[in-house]
Each structure stands twice: as structure tokens, then as C-alpha cells.
Chain A
Amino acid sequence: MKMPKANPATIKSSTIAAGSLSSRVLAGVDARATWAELVNGTILENAGGAALRAKSVAAELRGKSIVLATIDQFRAAAALVELDGIARRIVLFPPDVAVEHLAYVAKTAEADVLITDHDAAATAPHGMGRVIRCVRNLMPVDGADEEPSTIETEWILLTSGTTGLPKLAVHTLVSLAGSAWHTDPASASLVWSTFYDMRRYGGLHIFLHAALTGTSLVVSHAHEPVADFLWRAGENGVTNISGTPSHWRRALMSSAANRIAPEYIRMSGEIVDQAILNQVQAQYPNARVAHTFASTEAGVGFNVNDGLMGFPAEILESNPLIEMKIEDETLRIRSMRTATRYLGEAAPVLKDADGFVDTGDTVELRNGRYYFTGRRDGTINVGGYKVHPEEVEAVINRHPVVAMSLVKAKKNPITGSLVVADVVLNAECAASSSSEPQRDILQFCRAQLDHHKVPATINIVATLPIGESGKLVRRA
């Protein structure tokens, strides 16, 4: 759908258009509001902790580039409703990204304003001139925005990069929301939820779907145990819920799995295997279980509704608005739903000359059906978190006993994959058998890498294969 650039639709205007504002809710872990309260409320505080008036928000934040770094998802949702159409740019900074990256992200996004609910972000050296706190949950706005004109806000999502620094992918409300503009009166009775954090593509997609099609929404919290979330989702009568296969495996291990009785379950974000499809269907026999291909860069590709892993080849031709092709074994997508570019100097190219985004996901065709086989660049997906082998190898290779290393994925039934490393010791250390190099290397990694990036096992090997290009051979 082509949206006009002047005065484009915003979350607020689209949420209002979707209707049922007073009867549908946004439920967070310790805050709850109707959508009517959200579109008329503010979470932004002045220095005294009172609400900034809508008028002053519009005046102060209009045209600014803003980093939104709250721990709490309810506050993030409220801020997005408040700022879309006013800010030039909103960067969604998830709570699991280290605050040390704030300065880099702010600089790359040319951000002027930080909005946060926690001290670690507020006091980090972030380089932004203005910090707005949002510790309270939602306050009514005193007086309406006098200037209703809106601009098309750029939404920036972070994805992991090979160097350990995040990459900043640019979206708009149109590219993120896709087909969610069409409301259906039946939507008012639906309650969506997701295990995803809404600062990630999978979660943001559900938030916008709920806002724009007119449903209720239950959001999780970064520090909430899975059983508590399932209880809360159940108490709120969740009908539709999404997550990664790893989210679902964790849910099935919870004694609270039976607290929800969804009608529709969607999986995305990792390779979906037959086991998790069967196990989820067995736990929720009345639910329709689907899986979706989507990524931050490529947007939403397709839904698979036949209960089987992989996807039928004809799905590539099924939607005229989303062009898909397989080239050099990877899935490529061209549509209105893809990100437009990466921000920053020397940022990698997101689309090829024809406008296709290479998802980097490799597939294999067997009997008319494609199956995902992994990532071309060797990126490892550990429970929905991407790990670039090069980043882990760089750390291992700094250890004094190591000559070289190869980091790769090991298939795992809980997190999809785990990181493992083959390590060649330097000649001096290989000769001495007294030490325990694996333990030393692992400790070294734990001190420098996020938990999911630390190898689960380290195998000491005599050599590693080097290809004709002089590079490590990454794929068998």
C-alpha cells in the first residue's frame, strides 16, 4: 500500500481507526491500560517526575532522532504510540543489548534524545544531549497536541554484526506493518501475545498487528520467569501467541504450559523442525500451529500452515506483493516489507541492484519442498540470538595458548543450535600436557563474551582445514 509522505498514518491514527479503544487492553507485567488511555497518555516525565504535556512533547521532540532504551516493554509500547509521527527517527534499543553500545548506536543514528527507565542507560557515556526519564507507567496528557501534522518516522531496529557492534536497519511504519492496516470487527475479541521482546522484529510485528488491527496485547518482560508469563497470558485470555521454536521448547518444559489455551500459535525466527511443530500441536490440540519466515532485514516472507517443517516450493509464487527467489542456495526477497538500508558510514549494502534482500538463509529442495539448512555466512542461531563465529574466534585466538580456532554450530534440541569450537594449540602448549587448556580458554571466553556466544565445548584438534582462498573452510 502506498502511503502519502505528508501527514502519513501513524500508530496513533491507525490505532484510533481500528476502534474498540476502550475495550481492548495492553497488559504489561506491572502496568495495564486500554488503548484509549494509551493514545491519550504519556510516559514521558519532566525533571520533577510529572507528565510532559503533549504540546511540549511535540515541540521538543518534533524532528528529533530518539533512542528508546527502556527495560519495560509496556513503556516502550506507550512511547512508540506517543512518538511515531513526531520523531524523525526512533531507535529501538533492546534491554539485552549492552549499554556500552549506546554511544555507538546514538552516534550512528545521529540521536539527540535518550528515553529510558533505568539508570544504567541514563548514566552511560551515550553522547546524547537530552535524557527523558519514564519511570512511571502512564499519565494522562493535560491538553491535546496543538499541531496534529505528522512526519514519516524512521524506525531503527538493531541486529547483530560480525564485529560485535550492532547493525542499524531502517524501517518505516509501512514496511513494518505490512498488511495489518485492514481491521476486522472480529479482531476486538482477540488477545495477542508473544514471547518476543517488542524491540526485536518478531515482537514489534505482533505489537503493530495488535495496535493496527484492533486486538488486545499481552507483553512479556525481560526479567519475568516463563511460568509467570504463561500464567499472566492465561489470565488475560490469550488467543494468539508467537515465539521462536526455542521460546516454545522452554514453554513446554514449564509446568505452566497448560495455563494458556491459544487458538493460534505462530513460530518464527529460527529453523522450525518437525519435532517442535508436533510437540506444540500435542500440547495445544485445538490450536492452529503455523510458522512464518521473517527477518529484520527481509521483513515478512510467508506463512506455512500445513503443519510441516520447510515450505512448499509454490509458496515462492504465492504472493504478488512479496517476490521471492532462491539464488545460490539462499532465499532472496523483494517487497515493501524489507528494511530500506543500514545506517552508518561504511554500512553494508542491504539490497542488491534489483532491490532483493539476500536473507543469507540456505535452503535445499527435496520433493517439491524447500528445507532450511542454515546460514551461508555460518551465523549460528542460539535460541534466537545470532552468533557470528568470527567474533568468538577473535576472542579465542587472543588466548596465549591458541594458534587458531574454528567456531561452528552444533545442532541442539533446546536452543536449535549451540556454539562449539575446534582449537589448534600453539606448538609450545601442545607439547606440554600439564595444563587444562579447554578450561582456561572457556574462562577467557566467559569474561569477554555474552553467555550464548561462549562455546559449549572446546575440542583440541591437530589442524584445521584451510581452503584455496587461504580462509578456514567453514562448511563441510
Chain B
Amino acid sequence: MDIKAEITAQFKQVAKEQDKRLAPLTDNVALLDSGLDSLCFAIVVARLESALGTDPFSEDEDARFPVTFGDFVLFYENAKS
């Protein structure tokens, strides 16, 4: 499964549901500038857990939080590998 495509799809879906305007999802865009708020990220993480079977935020208590969209994708890719 293409993890980045799944993440991108969830960002778009949640933005649509929550009436948020999503910034173009380049690797360098800061998560907090993406147009999503904390509640949106919470929903994205919950849905990705269902879709990908992993929640890297909860798996490692010492993990650093991702800051950019690229970090976020890497965070999930590393968790799966």
C-alpha cells in the first residue's frame, strides 16, 4: 500500500468533512499551516490507524512529533518498516 497516498487521501477527506481549506501538501508544508486543526489531526490519526493498522504516535513514548507533512509521512513509513 502506498502510505503517502493513503495519508494524502485522509488529509483531504478530513479537511472536506471539517470545512477546512487544505494547503497544497508538499513535503515542506508545516502541519500547523496545512489548514487542519488539532481535532482534524486527531481524526486523521484515528482513521490511519484503521487503514494502515498502525499508530506511530502511540507506539513510541519518546518519539518526536512531526512538524512538516514530509515528517508526518516518514513517521508512518518508518513505523511500518
Contact = CB atoms under 8 A, between A and B. Distances in A.
Interface of A: 225-227, 246, 249-250, 252-255, 257, 273-275, 278-279, 282-283, 382-383, 410-415, 418, 442, 446, 451-452, 456-457
Nearest to A385: B39
B61 A418 contact: no
Contact of B38 (A246, A279, A282, A446): A246
B62 A254 contact: no
A457 B46 contact: yes
A260 B55 CA distance: 29
A273 to B, nearest CB: 8
Contact of A456 (B42, B57, B65, B66): B42
A278 B62 CA distance: 6
Most buried by B among A382, A414, A457: A414
B17 interface: yes
B16 to A, nearest CB: 12
Contacts, number: 81
Contacts of A411: 58
B4 interface: no
B43 interface: yes
11 contacts: A227-B32, A253-B32, A253-B66, A253-B67, A254-B32, A279-B62, A383-B38, A411-B58, A415-B39, A418-B43, A456-B46
Interface of B: 17-18, 30-33, 38-39, 41-43, 45-47, 50, 55, 57-58, 60-68
Nearest to B62: A278
A274 B31 CA distance: 23
Given A226-B32, A227-B32, A255 B42 contact: no
B45 A279 contact: no
Contacts of A275: 57-58, 60-63
A442 B31 CA distance: 25
Contacts of B31: 253
A254 B31 CA distance: 7
Contacts of A253: 31-32, 41, 65-67
Contact of B39 (A227, A252, A382): A382
A327 B12 CA distance: 47
Nearest to A383: B38
Contact of B43 (A246, A249, A250, A456): A456
A383 B42 contact: yes
A412 B32 contact: no
Nearest to B72: A253
A412 B42 contact: yes
B55 A274 contact: no
A250 B46 contact: no
Nearest to A450: B39
A255 B67 contact: yes
A459 to B, nearest CB: 10
A412 B67 contact: no
Contact of B41 (A225, A226, A257, A414): A414
B63 to A, nearest CB: 7
